Amino acid sequence: MNKAEQTDSITLTKGKAGRIKREANGNALILEVEDIMAGTRRMDPFDMVVLATGLVPNRIIPVLSTNDNGFYQAGQIPGIYPAASCKRPMDVASSVKDATAAALKAMHQ
Amino acid sequence: MEGLKKNMALAVCTGCSIGECIDVDHLITVAGEEVDGIACMKHPALCSEEGLGSLHHLVRDSGADRLAIAACSPRVKSEQFRMDGPYVERINLREQVAWVMDPDAEDTLMCADDQVRMGLAKLGAISDNVPYIPGQVFSDILVVGGGLAGLTAALEGASAGYRVHLVEKKGSLGGYAGRIYKLMPTIDGQEELIEPDTSALMEQVVSHPEVKVYLGSTIDSISGEPGNFSVRLENEKGTELTVGSVVVSTGWKPYDATRLGHLGYGLSPQIKTLEEFEKQVQEEAVPDRVLFVLCAGSRDQAHLPYCSSYCCTAALKQALYVREKNPESQVFIVYRDIRTTGFQEEFYKMVQSDDAIFMTRGIIDSVSLADTQVRVKVKDSLLDDMISLDTDMVVLATGMVPSSTEDLQLQYRLGKGLPEIEYSFSDSHFICFPYETRRTGIYAAGTVRAPMDLESRREDAERAMRKAIQCIECVKRGEAVHPRAGDLTFPDLYMDRCTDCKRCTEECPFGAYDETEKGTPLPNPSRCRRCGICIGSCPERVIGFSDFSINSVSAMIKSIHVPDEFEEKPRILMFVCENDAYPALDAAGVNRLKISPYVRIIPVRCLGSVNKVWISDALSHGYDGILQIGCKPGDDYQCHFIHGSELTEQRGENLQETLETMMLEPERIRTSFVEITDYRGIQETINEYVEELELIGPNPFKSL
């Protein structure tokens, strides 16, 4: 994050995006955002807007029950070991790690 | 070695547009010229069931013990083309010729011919491999440190059927986790803090028949190699153990709060750290007003630049301790950001819903004493206001500092501990291989490796133990662990010609070589990751693998036909790192990007494995230039072997001297770095270099 902050071409704003609409006569997207730190409301034009959406688990094993958010809970049925992002939201490195851990569980005697 | 004549065969695939681009019959003629009596075949789809049938026939009928398959990249169809008998060399005609060069053009055909010559030359120069397996391979596993990670690792290892030796320097197990008052709720809808289960875990570990616990013990020395480490403990008995692998879970300590004078630490005992408050809450009454300062000395260039990822949640939890023990209390939390990832967010919401817990986003301006209270001035960053709060107690949420791994007392030439990255956490290839240290068979687990919360520590310990088990099983079969998993070759040293120059012992990133007092290398092959950096380091050229050696690569270099200077067909030798650059080149092929037909490609295990003699071989053979492409060096290195690319850069200076003595232009050798995804970049790098060389003109050694 420090690196991103120090990059001149990246501007970080603490705030909530209210609305995205297309400019009346143009291609730009107008992002309406409340800049919390400045206490202002801004209308900024962009060529592209990327929504950083969260992750939702895939559920393909019906016998496993899930928590309120739909992620599998570990340790329900001996012999079935949920690993990585079907168990909890996680990044690539953590997924690699968690899969390795699940493989160990499968080795239990 | 003349007596051991190799029996060779060549199979050429004409599918995937190879046949339309290349004169395959001519390739077979070339093979016949290069190797007397070589058995050859071609097939329109070699990987099909029928093609594979013909291939197996070819091997059986010819009795070949060396087989060249000229088809697609070795990175694909590896299952189909795996053979039980012969050594297989894959000649990449598809991604490196047919998909990137003009069909049927003279230069394309010459390139394909040379690809075949190089493959056959390699097959002629390699030797048979007998895997290295230590005299005796032990399956016991040492776990150093008896905190949450160490306990988890020990129990998991024992449950998987391996005997575990758990060493703890203190007189009791549990570590930090053993001192925790309560845990945040983990079950949906649960609103109460829960009792920690560390003592149950300790009980399970201690009573497990396959776990032996050594309390009050430290490591006196660890020597040897994966599969066979000798461990001496410093304790009353002077215990000696032999283990196959090691899990290091020596944990962390809080950042030194005495350096946080600006946050009031040291002014009064009312100003504490998270750890001090965790203890106090279990022993004494809790005052009416408590203020927590998050990121105390964290995400701060003057202190810890990183986020320790556990302190937000720990402080929120302690806020609930205060509320639980003293219902009249008020709690203030001063934060820059609240980082509660994953399901911890729900816990954060729960804490927020308590009306007596006040959260303020701001920065501490000053901390002073006012009568019996502590006065904290906060610059509120949301309201842009200065707030003054008088409180009975201030708790600083300090970050994590890893414990030193020097206590492992490794008897390695390269040092007693695990190599570290800049914040003194033990190094790993953190994206692709988060679990590996630079010492094969020794796996760091938990907070000694990276800052993490309790749940992550458990998971981290499980995966570390799994790698420790995998390592033992690999060593039993003579196989390398990551990233060349399953590789049965290992570096072999011809000691008669070794001059004890110590380059290999110094440059091996993994400490595979120890050395005698005189400097003679003492190889520990099962510590080796098989990168071949020692081949590149050795001025006497005495180090080699059975299928990757000074001879095998030299033979490939010398096998190609170099047109004379008047033909205006330059030849550029490319050493391509097989980890990232080679896949990038394959991707260029898949995207049908045009690559100059003047290049001749030799894959290497790491750029660091390139020996200087190959460069001079190439220049004296008449190549006009040499292009080495590897993974990115530097702080954010992507080299799979840590500093192979860096070494190449350093050695580059010596190579320039070689060029000078040969009276050649410095541009004749070029080193570039690419990322695995940058297939356009690799195309540009190659084609621009070829153009540049065409301007410089031919290598004057060409006609000699």
% chain B with pLDDT above 90: 88
Instruction: List the single residue in A2, A100, A108 with the smallest CB-CB distance to B435.
Output: A100
Instruction: Label the pairing between strands B164-167 and B211-214.
Output: parallel
> Domain ends where: B340, B369, B399?
B399
For residue A31, list its beta bridge partners: A20, A44
Model pTM above 0.80: yes
B363 with B442, same domain? Answer: no
Please tell me whether residues B261 and B395 are part of one structural domain. Answer: yes
| Placement of tokens 């129990």 in the chain | B155
Nearest Cα of chain A lies from the Cα of B305 at a distance, in angstroms, of 9
B460–A93 C-beta distance less than 8 A: no
Strand partners, A21: A30
Are the C-beta atoms of residues B264 and B395 closer than 8 Å to each other? no
Tokens of B628: 């080495």
Q: CB-CB: which of B160, B384, B432 is closest to A104?
A: B160
Q: Quick one: B188 and B232 in the same domain?
A: yes
Mutate to test the interface with A, among B435, B459, B465, B471 (most CBs of A within 10 A): B459
Check: CB of residue B251 under 8 Å from CB of residue B353: no
Q: Give the model confidence (pLDDT) of A33-71 as tens digits.
A: 998 888 889 999 999 999 999 999 998 888 888 888 899
Residue B170 is predicted with a pLDDT of 96
Beta pairing class for B228-234 and B218-225: antiparallel
Among B31-45, B339-353, B465-479, B522-536, name the one with the lowest average pLDDT. Answer: B339-353
Whether residues B462 and A101 touch (CB distance < 8 A) is answered with yes
Average pLDDT over residues B152-173: 97
In the block, tokens 């220049």 appear at: B619
Beta strands B442-444 and B400-402, pairing class: unpaired
Which residues of chain B make contact with A98, given a CB cutoff of 8 A? Answer: 459, 463
Supply the pLDDT for residue B537. Answer: 96
B382 chain-A contacts, CB cut-off 8 A: 36-37
- Chain A segment 48-87 residues within 8 A of B by beta carbon are 67-69
How many contacts, defined by CB atoms under 8 Å, are there between A and B?
A: 62
Report whether pLDDT(A75) > 90.
Answer: no
Nearest Cα neighbor of B449 from B471, B472, B429 is B429
Q: Give me the percent of chain A exceeding a pLDDT of 70.
A: 99
Write out chain A residues lying below 8 Å of B188, CB-based.
Answer: 67-68
B29: left (phi over 0), alpha (psi -120 to 50) or beta: alpha
Asked if the Cβ–Cβ distance from B463 to A97 is below 8 Å, we say yes
Same domain, B262 and B389: yes
Q: Are residues B241 and B164 in the same domain?
A: yes
Model confidence at B459: pLDDT above 70: yes
Query: Which chain B residues are Cβ-neighbours of A93 within 8 angstroms?
Result: 430-431, 434
Do B382 and A36 lie within an 8 Å CB cutoff?
yes
Test B342 with A89 for CB contact under 8 angstroms.
Answer: yes
Total residues belonging to chain B = 704
Confidence of residue B423 (pLDDT cuts 50, 70, 90): confident
pLDDT category at B433 given cuts 50, 70, 90 is confident
Q: What are the structure tokens assigned to B124, written together? A: 């002629």
State how far residue A85 is from chain B, nearest Cα, in angstroms: 10
Please classify residue B131 by burial: count the beta carbons closer than 10 Å to its beta carbon, then call 0-12 exposed, 13-18 middle and 19+ buried: middle
Q: Is residue B120 part of a domain?
A: yes
Tell whether A4 is within 8 A of chain B (Cβ).
Answer: no
Separation between Cα atoms, residue B271 and residue B266, nearest integer Å: 7
CB contact under 8 A, B160 and A108: yes
Task: Summarize the confidence of residues B45-70 as an average pLDDT.
Answer: 97
Q: For residues B367 and B378, what is the distance between their CA atoms, to the nearest angstrom?
A: 9
How much is the pLDDT for A63?
83
- CATH number for the domain including B13? 3.40.50
At A93 the pLDDT is: 83
B contact test, residue of A13, A72, A85, A104 with most B CBs within 10 A: A104
Q: What integer best gives the mean pLDDT of chain B?
A: 94
B1 pLDDT tier (thresholds 50, 70, 90): very low
State whether B35 and B116 are in the same domain.
yes
CA closest to B445 among chain A residues: A97
Residues A106, A79: Cα–Cα separation, whole Å? 6
**What domain range includes position B181?**
141-251+403-477
User: Total structural domains in chain B?
Assistant: 3
Q: Which two tokens stand for residue B581?
A: 């650059």
Report ipTM (2 d.p.).
0.84
CA-based nearest residue in chain A for residue B429: A93
- Across the interface, of A36, A88, A100, the residue whose CB is closest to B466 is A100
Write down the pLDDT at residue B3: 40
Same domain? For B245 and B337 the reply is no
- B395 and B277 share one domain: yes
Residue spans of the domains in chain A: they are 2-46, 55-109
Query: B303, B466, B470, B471: best mutation site toward chain A, by most A Cβ within 10 Å?
Result: B466
A109 contact residues in B (CB cutoff 8 A): 159-161
Tell me what percent of the residues of chain B surpass a pLDDT of 70: 98
B142-156, B432-446, B447-461, B569-583: segment of lowest average pLDDT:
B432-446
Instruction: Dig out the tokens for B651 from the structure.
Output: 């050695």
Classify residue B276: in a domain, yes or no. yes
Task: Tell me: pLDDT of B626 over 50.
Answer: yes
At residue B430, the pLDDT reads: 59
- Position B427 scores a pLDDT of 74
The stretch A77-90 carries a mean pLDDT of 90
* pLDDT attached to residue B652: 86
Phi, psi dihedral angles at B676 (to 5 degrees): -60, -30
* Residue where a domain terminates, one of B353, B380, B399: B399
Residue B3 forms contact with A (CB below 8 Å): no
Q: What pLDDT score does B704 carry? A: 64
Which of A36, A89, A101 is facing B466, going by the closest CB pair?
A: A101
B93 and B2 within one domain: yes
- Domain-ending residue, one of B456, B477, B498: B477
Please indicate, yes or no, if residue B575 is contained in any of the structural domains: no
**A97 close contact with B: CB closer than 8 A:** yes
> Is B154 among the domain residues?
yes
Kindly state whether residue B581 falls inside one of the protein's structural domains: no
- Asked whether the beta carbons of residue A100 and residue B462 sit closer than 8 angstroms, the reply is yes
Q: What is the pLDDT of residue B2?
A: 42
